[in-house]
Chains A and B, each alone.
Chain A
Amino acid sequence: MKEMAEPICRVLRDGALEGEHAPALMIKDSMHSAFGLDVFNHILCSLASNISAGKSQARGLVLVSLNRHPSFYTDLLKSRGIGVASSNKLIQIVDCYSDPLGWKDRLLDPGCITKLSPKATGTLCKDIRDLDKLLSVILELGNGLVGVGQGKIHFSVAIDLVTVIIRHTSLQSVSRLISNLRSHDQVSSVFWLIHSDLHEMKAIAALEYMSSMVANLEPIGQSPNEQRGHFEKLLWTEQNSNKGKFHVRFKRRNGRVKLMSEEFLVEQGGIKFITVSSGNGMIDQSLLPKVQFNLQLSEKERVDRAKVVLPFEHQGNGKSMQIYDGRRSLTEGHNNLSTPASTTTKIHTEADCGKGEIHYIRDSDDEMPDSDEDPDDDLDI
């Protein structure tokens, strides 16, 4: 499977610089384009393969799984052939899926002591509401994974579905968890998935504030509104049933925001990203200044301009335009023009007699009206 969504995977692989917060990726999806889990799996596999190949800053990965059973992820990695060869364990999974609220304990008889065997690959979390405990479990597992060696050894953290955590706790505690993870020395990178249509704007904004990369899954084309026919809606749904757009915003260190846009295609074997060559047309419209100057003429303006009667050329008196070809003397031209034609109005004739006249003969026919030639240029001093 070709490695796409390159820049994101690269950032997660490279991890955090000394003294900086770890890079954090937030993947947002919604019902219009519900492939967030596939993207999450893709990125998880990419990071895991980088870890097992030793190419990344992190030496291990701690995964908090809330949406799927941990065995799903171990099977996924095994099927992709990641991590089977290496002798070190590279992933630890915190199982928040099986029993996040600790119901099994409560359902059992108090007298009966049954050991609930945790899964081999994970630790069972029985109270998702205690996020401080979750944080310490994550850090403990991470430490256990990478071991304490010379200097700092890093591990990455992935959270399956933050939506579930927010449902059971508050936005403030989730923000605190993520902020603590990011600022921890040993954490190399963090990434998580969220369903953006299940939360208020404020919650999404708060998590965007805490992340350094935001990936958004969107459908191709606008969703048709209610007035559109059934058929168009079907068409649009059909079109988006296995593909969509993938927009990423990177917060760069120099304070600028890098925008990246790709298309993705979901197939049997996984998800594929296709670079769309239409370029960065997503310029923020609000930043574009409204311009004052128009140096081109629109069609209407061109037509209007052609209609403007240039005052010295012809008075609509039916005379053809005289082009001065330099040979005729001026008086001849003058005589020609001063003969009133039959179509001139009386007023015009009177004006001719009483006031001065301007006789304008164009130099050549090619000359555009209103050309900006400086008559002084002809002077030969």
Chain B
Amino acid sequence: MTRGIPLPRGMRRSSEGWAIHYGAAGSLKLEICLAYCFLPDMASMKGKTSSFSRNLSGASFVQAPGVKHGPNGVTFVSSGIPDLDKILGGGFPLGSLVMVMEDAEAPHHLLLLRNFMSQGLVHNQPLLYASPVRDPRGFLGTLPSPILSKEDKVPQYDPEQEKGLRIAWQYKKYFGENKQSFENHRENRQEYNNDFDLRKPLERQLLSGNHIDCFSLQDYPNLSDLQECCSIFLAQLERNGGGSKSAGRIAIQSFCAPHCSHSNMEWDMISFIRSLKSMIRPSNAVAVITFSPSLLSPTFSKRWQHLADTLISVRAIPDEDKELAKLLTGYQDMVGLLHVHKVASINTQVPVILEASTFSIKLQKRRTLVLERLNQAPVDGSSGNSYATSASCSGSSKAASLDF
């Protein structure tokens, strides 16, 4: 059927490997074709690249570990999840406020927080952690340790495979494979981001450093005390180091938990967040706040969401759901769903446009967190409009339909 490499006229390439084309006489022909995919070069994969890049070759400039420079003068720190860093275009920008919307039915926000905090500790970045439980230090014991050995990475890229033509179904999955192998060549580079093994706890010595401050939100009925702690923490950041400024991380878990005494002071909470954002902006730190939108009144929930620079939400999925298992491939391994609502665009007016915004959270080998784009099996859907809607079958439409 489709023997030649160029597609016949009238056929559109779709990202999912299905194509619809108009038969020569105008009747609709549905042809199943496996789109040939040539693994594209890396430059186009990087996404937004600008022709302006900062000149970083100055001798006085020392790059702090765990920090990466991005376009538009933005400095990134890793979120602790390499997939999330890729999605967000590098990581969390320093000076930004990241908010994670929890789902009351699942603890996935804790997975994100754990990786975030571990990454900071691995890079020796000061950490401020606030949580609604009585003893926040207990949570530190659940932080995962990084996977350091190279053997765990994807096996070496096999140049032999390039010879033959590969027909790939849902071929976007294979892009990541290829990219990994190129990065393997740079052996001496210190890791910017690590994969974390959720089954192994972080080494004791990393936890005992004096750059970790823990607060229990229950101890602070008055939010102004908490605000003061944050400003002290940020002030200390400035004084640390000498030439090289270390980046700091603030993690606040479940900020509006119902048993905290400030939970019904909605105006106070939002004014805290606003002042935290203003403190963070000029500083070398990034703050992650998790909250559950159902615990706030709808208007305040919207205000909080607008305050965030980067907004992510996590969602639980039903268990043993046969319908969902049929619709989504890889359902058995999925733990939950992650949706990126907003990506920080500081110092730039160019909006960030993501290829896909909904991802499935999976635990690979039960230990590392991976985020995957949703691959759905093509299913019978709406009847009627098949002429109009099926003409463009790009992958992004499926992401848009998953509504949080």
Contacts and interface: CB of A to CB of B under 8 A. Distances in A.
Interface of A: 170-172, 175-176, 178-180, 183, 201-202, 205-210, 249-252, 254-259, 280, 283-284, 286-296, 298, 300-301, 305, 308, 310-311, 370, 372, 374
Closest 3 CB pairs of A and B: A291-B381, A175-B258, A206-B258
B316 A291 contact: no
20 contacts: A178-B259, A183-B134, A206-B263, A209-B257, A256-B106, A256-B318, A257-B317, A257-B319, A258-B320, A259-B321, A284-B318, A288-B327, A289-B374, A290-B397, A291-B382, A292-B398, A293-B390, A298-B384, A300-B384, A311-B25
A358 to B, nearest CB: 11
Contacts of B292: 205, 209
Given A294-B386, A311-B25, A257 B18 contact: no
Contacts of B188: none
Interface in B1-55: 1, 18, 23, 25, 27, 29-31
A39 to B, nearest CB: 21
A294 B382 contact: yes
Nearest to A291: B381
B316 A256 contact: yes
A279 B104 CA distance: 25
Interface stretch (B178-186, B227-235, B293-301): B293-301
Nearest to A170: B264
Given A256-B106, A290-B381, A291-B381, A209 B25 contact: no
Given A209-B104, A287-B324, A293-B381, A172 B259 contact: yes
B258 A290 contact: no
Interface centre among A183, A207, A284, A291 (most CB of B within 10 A): A291
Given A209-B295, A290-B401, A172 B322 contact: no
A252 B29 contact: no
Nearest to B399: A289
Contacts of B187: none
B330 interface: no
B335 interface: yes
Contacts of A287: 317-318, 324, 337, 402
Contact of B25 (A180, A310, A372): A310
B260 interface: yes
Contacts of A300: 384
Given A209-B295, A370-B23, A249 B105 contact: yes
Contacts of A255: 106-108, 316, 335-336
B255 to A, nearest CB: 13
A301 B385 CA distance: 10
Interface of B is mostly: loop
Interface residues of B, number: 59
B105 A172 contact: no
B318 A293 contact: no
Interface of B: 1, 18, 23, 25, 27, 29-31, 104-108, 133-134, 257-261, 263-264, 292, 294-297, 316-324, 327, 335-337, 374, 376, 378-384, 386, 389-390, 393, 397-398, 401-404
Contact of A292 (B29, B261, B263, B390): B390
Nearest to A212: B105
Contact of A289 (B106, B134, B318, B398): B398
A286 B190 CA distance: 42
A256 B23 CA distance: 46
A208 to B, nearest CB: 6
Nearest to A171: B258
Contacts of B29: 370, 372
B259 A283 contact: no
B52 to A, nearest CB: 38
Chain A CB count within 10 A is highest, among B29, B105, B108, for B105
Contact of B380 (A286, A289, A291): A291
A292 B378 contact: yes
B244 to A, nearest CB: 39
B320 A280 contact: yes
A46 B328 CA distance: 39
A251 B323 contact: no
A291 B379 contact: yes
Nearest to A281: B323
A172 B258 contact: yes
A257 B316 contact: yes
Given A289-B401, A292-B398, A293-B18, A252 B319 contact: yes
